[in-house]
Structure 1
Amino acid sequence: MHICLSDGWGGLEMYPARIIPELQCQGWEPHGLALSGSRVADSMASAGIAPLTVPSRGRALLQVGRILAHLRRHAIEVLHCHKSSDLRLGALLATLRPGLKLFFTDHMGVTRPKKDLYHRWAYGRVTRLFSISEATRERNLAAFPLPPERIRRLYLGIDLAPYSPQLDSAACDALRRELGVPAGSVAIGLPGRLTRGKGQRTWLEGLARLSQWTPGFDWHGVLIGGLTAAEGSDEVYVASLERQVAALGLEERITFAGFRPDLPRLFEALDIVCVPSRNEAFGLTVVEAMAAGKAVIGADSGAIPELLDTGCGRLADPESPEAWAQAMEALGRDDGLRRRLGQAARARAVERFGMSAHVRALTGEYAGDA
């Protein structure tokens, strides 16, 4: 049973629904526990399971008897939590029903020690803690009251199939026009939530430098991500980005595309994908762009350098607009280089970050000895 009692919507919340189909393909019977009316509950239902729901995190603790009965009825032996706050429930269930295996994925990357009495109790019941990169594992080893052998690095995976090219040239050109990309321009995209820490400000400053340094270079920037709080973005921050675009004189060269459910197709319309996030715990967008065969520029911080190297992408300082301008110009002026990097990136994504391999490694842990 995957437990995710969150009313938010991001990579953490999307994870259970993303892996449910592959769990079923590999012979497992996945279950879910989510908040009533949450997008997590809806996503689990869309993925093919009917989750058990509770009205709130607090009520989940009060309904522990109901949850235990559900576990017994369905012979559930594995619990997997995705928010640290859900470990209270997971640890309680594991305490009341000895023999349950409890797993936790640290999707966010812990930032402070968790070794007080409560955390020693809760994490003491965790069978295995998954770090989604080597960068986060180093922090996990320092922060959590667990021995090293119970903290494993397990990279996330994606379904590779949707990222294979599907558009013919006419459809791709039509999509570029929809995004406001002029014919003949290099389309430079930045996908992701419009929130602080994702690096949009540095990227826009880099594009302004690019415009100043190379006035004859035709490019167009595309910001892809929800523009409202309901779509996971910070509306105050979005407004500040719009003001920044105006102040930099880039209104005609930047498109705010908003939330797009067809991100794999948008990748086909882009020439370069940028991910300037300062401290990614993993970098799922990087892997998605790699799977789409795109030339990627990522921040040289957090976990992104584990995904990209000079053979399949480029890295730039997330605090340096100049570094981003230089990297974007170098790739923008060399379509052969973009093509070679994209082919190498696709090959690496297939080799290392497919969903099937991720779920096989995950279920191997589920089935292993505690």
Structure 2
Amino acid sequence: MYPARIIPELKRQGWKPHGLALAGSAVARSLREVGIEPLTVATKGRALLQLGRILAYLKAHDIRVLHCHKSSDLRLGALLVSLRPSLKLFFTDHMGATRPKKDLYHRWAYGRVTRLFSISEATRARNLHAFPLPAERIHRLYLGIDIAPYAPRLAPAEREALRHELGIPTNAVAIGLPGRLTNGKGQVPWIEALGILRNLAPGLAWHGVLIGGLTAAEGSDEAYVSRLQERVASLGLEEKVSFTGFRRDLPRLFEALEIVCVPSRNEAFGLTVIEAMAAGKAIIGADSGAIPELIDATCGRLAPPEDTKAWAEAMKTLIDDSEQRQRLGQAAQAKAVEHFQLSSHVQALLDEYVIGESD
């Protein structure tokens, strides 16, 4: 998803991006969708056997920057840089290393990396310990999004129709949790917190909305989805919680919500958080991983990811106070505009590319 997000902005800022991908892959399709016909190889192993073809492509197009986004691609990247020293190699670590990578192979591969980008301070702290690189070559580079699609567009009648489609009663405060339905995203403790919320304040009108695919093909863990559905039923929350399934219209779904929850235990960044910020939503996030770097008391609320009572109390407070929801949402939106715009992210990336060329 990342290359497809930034390519239009790279083009707008005057660069000519190219792509290398596995034939028939989702990456290849996403590149074509944004106007890039990628150079393709059948397998990663075949790519190593076609180094001459790839090097000829790089030379023909005067490509000087190579940017990898999976550690398994660095073997190829390091080989290309070794054979074409004019190339500068960049690598974005999207997860944060969980174990040391300082053996002989990793020293060779990462030794050819001009810059390693960490997508948050939390992941950079882990990467400083894990990678065989000096601190000055590991930079924090926050992700960004196009803010414009998250501006409200629905007329009141359209918004109410969408809420009805999602099973949200007319006068209920809608609390959404977007993201893949998989362990680690915090859906189980969130559902438990909703059970506590119902008992804590039985008179409150609210409705929970789980946004995410329900099948493996949609990126979710089907056994985990069944577990969530069973827990909703066992708590007697069937009328209080909806499962939307996979949706492509997340910016519009945000319009149907008043509160967005992100209880993930260890987010490397928190793209959903900045999307909700751009939509001007009141957000409750986990006080772990990178989320506290994105929101604080001025623009959201934080709670320990496994503390179900704290989540219930945080939700109750925001359900009770529409003015606080509006104030937090406005502050979150202003922060997203100031710090997390895609154009700013790409400009920072290009600055690194240029500096890399002069190193």
Query: Into which bin does the TM-score normalised by the smaller protein fall?
Result: over 0.9
Structure 1 residue corresponding to 2:92, chosen from 94, 101, 105? 105
Equivalent in 165, 170, 176 of residue 183 of structure 1: 170
d(CA) in 1 for partners of 2:61, 2:218:
34
What does 1:190-201 correspond to in 2, within 5 Å?
Answer: 190-201=177-188
1:64 is aligned to 2:51: yes
Does 2:106 match 1:119? yes
Structure 1 residues 32-55: Cα deviation after superposition (integer angstroms, max 9, x where no partner):
111111111111111111111111
| Shift, 1:16, TM fit | 0.4
CA distance in 2 between partners of 1:235 and 1:91 (Å): 38
Aligned equivalent of 1:136, options 113, 116, 123: 123
Cross-structure match for 1:164: 151
Alpha carbon RMSD of aligned pairs, Å? 0.7
Deviation at 1:297, TM superposition (A): 0.4
Match of residue 64, structure 2, among 59, 65, 77: 77
**How many pairs were matched up?**
357
SS of aligned partner of 1:285? helix
Amino acid at match of 1:119: H
Q: Look up the equivalent residue of 1:191 and give its one-letter code.
A: P
SS at match of 1:50: coil
Range moving further from structure 2, 176-185 or 236-245:
236-245
Superposed, 1:273-292 pairs within 5 Å as 273-292=260-279
Which residue identity lines up with residue 147 of structure 1 in the other structure? Answer: P
Cα distance in 1 for residues equivalent to 2:251 and 2:349? 25
TM-score by length of 1: 0.95
1:209 to 187, 196, 201: 196
Counterparts of 1:40 and 1:251, CA distance in 2: 38
Identity among equivalent pairs (%): 73
In structure 2, what is the equivalent of residue 34 of structure 1?
21
Match 1:356 to one of 325, 343, 349: 343
Q: Secondary structure at the match of 2:171?
A: coil
Match of 1:238 among 225, 231, 236: 225
Matched, 1:253 2:240: yes
DSSP 3-state at the match of 1:312: coil
Does residue 1:220 correspond to 2:231, yes or no? no
Partner of 2:5: 18
Residue 96 of structure 1 pairs with residue 83 of structure 2: yes
TM-score, normalised to structure 2's length?
A: 0.98
Q: Once the two structures are superposed, what CA deviation does each residue of 1:52-75 show, in whole Å capped at 9, x if it has no partner?
A: 111122212122221111111111
Q: CA deviation at 1:247?
A: 1.2
Q: Does 1:55 align with 2:42?
A: yes
Instruction: Quote the Cα distance in structure 2 between the aligned partners of 1:227 and 1:65.
Output: 43
- Structure 2: state its 5+ residue gaps: none
1:366 and 2:353 are equivalent in the alignment: yes
SS of structure 1 residue aligned to 2:239: helix
Q: Distance in 2 between matches of 1:102 and 1:251?
A: 51
Alignment gaps of 5+ in structure 1: 1-13
